[in-house]
A and B are shown apart, each in its own frame.
Chain A
Amino acid sequence: DSGVTQTPKHLITATGQRVTLRCSPRSGDLSVYWYQQSLDQGLQFLIQYYNGEERAKGNILERFSAQQFPDLHSELNLSSLELGDSALYFCASSVNSGSGNEQFFGPGTRLTVL
């Protein structure tokens, strides 16, 4: 167990809908990262937050947004969902924003868009 929690574990929804994925980092970690894992794209970095502020952005669609709250938990919002958004979404955390820090991954949320 990495100490990173993600809810829900599974999510099934329809095209056009909006969902929110939640992540709680390890105790003491200030950085949160979001990743999307799919068979065709592999593991893709979406976005990073550090102590409430956006720190790095990857291949995140405009329909997706995230935030990190004062208690350091983070939410990833996915809107106008398409079939191609079906994937495993991982949250990871690290102690700070340093590039040399290993990231600790949660168990993921499996999103299925029908």
Chain B
Amino acid sequence: AQSVAQPEDQVNVAEGNPLTVKCTYSVSGNPYLFWYVQYPNRGLQFLLKYITGDNLVKGSYGFEAEFNKSQTSFHLKKPSALVSDSALYFCAVRRGEAGTALIFGKGTTLSVSS
């Protein structure tokens, strides 16, 4: 069975500091990994994905994520946080086969203080 763990309910960082939002996954076969962000009263917005290739993936708004197969992790990072990055972040995994569901983690609230 597929599963995603986001071990931190909340991450607090100061503006200008680097941020990391952690994600580990469990899936049989090759994983397809995604990060989404949700602002209050809004739908989810796609940030980035890993399908294959380079382990470092760059996405929207300066975010990047590193796929680590041995640690089954896909942590989201940004070199310099902005107050506007404050939101709820979801990691998701899907098996690389047709007819499979996208499984989401419980989400991590990122709070960036000025």
Contacts and interface: CB of A to CB of B under 8 A. Distances in A.
Interface string B92-107: 0011111111111111
B14 interface: no
Given A42-B107, A43-B104, A100-B32, A106 B99 contact: no
B46 A99 contact: no
Interface in A71-100: 90, 92, 97-100
Contacts of A4: 43
Contact of B46 (A33, A55, A100, A104): A104
Interface residues on A, range: 20 to 34
B98 A98 contact: yes
A58 interface: yes
Contacts of B100: 56, 99
Interface in B66-102: 90, 94-102
A89 to B, nearest CB: 11
Contact of A99 (B32, B43, B104, B105): B32
Nearest to A45: B101
Given A42-B106, A42-B107, A99-B96, A107 B43 contact: yes
Contacts of A55: 98-99
A13 interface: no
Interface of A: 2, 4, 33, 42-45, 48, 55-56, 58, 90, 92, 97-100, 102-108
Interface of B: 32, 34, 36, 41-46, 49, 51, 90, 94-107
